[in-house]
Every structure is written in C-alpha cells, then in structure tokens.
C-alpha cells in the first residue's frame, strides 16, 4: 500500500507543512517538531507535540504526540500557534549544527547518523529510538534531579533536559517547548531548581498524581481499544487507582465511544453506568 504524502501548504512559510492526520485532526510539521490539534473534553481542542517525526503527517495518530499544551479555540488558532515559531528553522541554521556519519553501537541501538550540537553534545538517530548524548564533562552540569547516568537522554521526551541545561545550543522555540515539557513531566525538579510552585492545571504530572490520589478506590482506565464486538463502543481495561503490574486487579468495561475521552489526566470507568465486558476480547494478549 502506498502511504499518502503530505504537500506543503501554499499559504505558509516553506518550512511549515499542514495536513490532516489518520484520525482526522489537524497536524503540522516545522523543523524537528510535529504539532497536532486533537479533540479535548467536550468541544475543546488542545495543542500536542512530538519531536523528530520520520513518518508522513497524514499517517500519524494521537498516541504519537506526547507533549500536551494549551487549549485551542479551533483550527485557525492551531495554524497561528504553529506559524508563531516559524523563525525556528533560521535560528537552527545560525546555530551551525553539523550532520555527521555514525555507525557506533550506543545504548539506544546502532547509530544511523548523528548531529553535533557542540563539542560533547551529540544527537544520534537509530532505527527505533534515538537521543542526545552528553560527554562526562557536559553531563555533570545537568542538575542532579534530572541527570541521567552515562549521559544518554532519549529523544522522547528527555531531550528537553539537555535543552534546559544548555539553552544556548537550542532555538527559542525549542527552549519554550523544553520548559513546558519539564514543567509538565518533571514538575518537582522544576520547582526545586527555580524555586517556583506549579498550581493545579499548570503541571500534567502533578495533576495526574492528584487525580490518582483522589480516585485511589475507583476504576481508572489504563488501556482502551475500539470494540470489535459492539459498534459505537470502546472496550477499556481499568484497575483500582490506575495501578499497573501483574498484581493489579483488572476489569474490562464497554464505554460509549461518544463518552470516552481520556483528556489530560485520565478516564474513570463506572461499574454502575458502564457494562462490564466478560465476552470475546478485543485486546490481543489479554490474560497471557
């Protein structure tokens, strides 16, 4: 099967491509970053991001975007937000990053090429999952709360730790993206490093912990799939308090597709309203 190709948008700067994803929401590509505008709760939408995408925009799906940004009023706001950092490409050229050949065996796999940001700061690409490597003298400059042993920082999303530490090696757009991701994903470290407090709604990680604490005795969905047994429903797996691991008690529920929306934090399965699924399985590997 031939995959659909994304065409440049004629009204945008040449570095920006807009398209519609495989799941029908707007997506865009600028430099090393891909943007998406998936639906949020109700009629809302939000900005999502991912880094170093290699596949065509038109085949991307929602779970490939890990960064969760601000709410967007609609597609016009999405386009404006994507076009805002259009100077990113020019800044990146000015930084003078060098592409080099590399076949080194690294902790993330076999390197298929690398980009030198500066002496001791190198980004490797691999067949599955690349990342940034810091030499020992560079790695000691990373705050101990965020430092990774050996200096390896995976591209999704640990690259932001490097960008936060060596700001002068990254574009203004990359720095803004990195700051937001650290605030969301490593909020405790951010607060300790900068002496600030992230309030409810300002940190995904803190909001997630608070959600799980409030619903420790409720069934929180940990996996979902479109039901093959019942049209218009999603089949979900839920555990008490969202616990994971072989010891966690699991239940399957049918949830109407129109109702299922995991949103920023999570989704609660209600044994009173949602029918427990005990029949044929839509999940591959259930019970193995």
What is the per-residue pLDDT for 35? 92
DSSP helix/strand/coil, 114: strand
What is the per-residue pLDDT for 3? 30
d(CA 112, CA 54): 13
Strand partners, 214: none
Pairing outcome for strands 16-20 and 45-51:
unpaired
Residue owning tokens 């590399």: 102
Q: Is the dihedral of CA 186, 192, 195, 201 positive or negative?
A: positive
What is the per-residue pLDDT for 5? 35
d(CA 129, CA 208): 26
What is the per-residue pLDDT for 200? 66
What is the per-residue pLDDT for 161? 94
Q: Are 203 and 187 in contact (CB under 8 A)?
A: yes
- The full set of domains in the chain, from first to last, is 16-86 (no CATH), 89-194 (no CATH), 216-276 (2.40.50)
What is the per-residue pLDDT for 281? 63
Q: What phi, psi does 163 have (nearest 5°)? A: -65, -35
What is the per-residue pLDDT for 2? 29
What is the per-residue pLDDT for 264? 61
Count CB neighbours of 17 within 10 A: 18
d(CA 137, CA 153): 15
Give mean pLDDT in consecutive 10-residue pieces for the chain, a chain of 288 residues.
35 72 92 86 82 87 80 89 75 88 71 89 82 94 93 87 94 86 82 74 73 88 84 89 86 89 78 83 51
Rg (CA), the chain: 21
DSSP helix/strand/coil, 14: coil
Residue owning tokens 């707007």: 26
Q: H-helix or E-strand containing 154?
A: strand 152-154
d(CA 83, CA 28): 10
What is the per-residue pLDDT for 144? 93
What is the per-residue pLDDT for 31? 76
**Residue 34, token pair as written in the block:** 């891909």
What is the per-residue pLDDT for 19? 94
Q: pTM value?
A: 0.54
């Amino acid at each position: 099967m031939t995959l659909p190709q994304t065409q440049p948008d004629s009204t945008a700067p040449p570095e920006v491509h807009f398209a519609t994803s495989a799941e029908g929401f707007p997506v865009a590509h600028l430099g090393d970053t891909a943007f998406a505008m998936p639906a949020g709760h109700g009629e809302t939408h939000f900005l999502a991001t991912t880094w170093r995408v290699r596949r065509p925009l038109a085949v991307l799906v929602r779970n490939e975007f890990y960064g969760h940004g601000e709410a967007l009023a609609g597609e016009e706001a999405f386009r404006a937000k994507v076009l805002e950092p259009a100077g990113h490409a020019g800044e990146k050229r000015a930084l003078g990053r060098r592409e080099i050949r590399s076949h080194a065996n690294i902790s993330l796999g076999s390197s298929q090429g690398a980009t030198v940001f500066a002496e001791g700061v190198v980004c490797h690409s691999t067949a599955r999952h690349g990342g940034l490597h810091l030499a020992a003298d560079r790695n000691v400059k990373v705050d101990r709360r965020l430092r990774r042993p050996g200096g390896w920082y995976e591209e999704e999303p640990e690259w932001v730790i490097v960008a936060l530490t060596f700001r002068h090696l990254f574009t203004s757009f990359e720095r803004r993206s990195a700051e937001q991701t650290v605030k969301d994903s490593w909020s405790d470290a951010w607060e300790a490093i900068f002496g600030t407090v992230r309030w409810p709604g300002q940190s995904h990680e803190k909001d997630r912990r608070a959600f799980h604490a409030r619903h420790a005795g409720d069934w929180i969905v940990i996996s979902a799939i479109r039901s093959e047994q019942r049209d218009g429903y999603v089949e979900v797996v839920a555990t008490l308090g969202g616990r994971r691991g072989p010891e966690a008690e699991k239940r399957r529920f049918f949830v109407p597709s129109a109702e299922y929306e995991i949103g920023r934090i999570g989704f609660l399965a209600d044994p009173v309203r949602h029918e427990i699924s005990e029949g044929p399985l839509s999940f591959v590997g259930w019970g193995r």
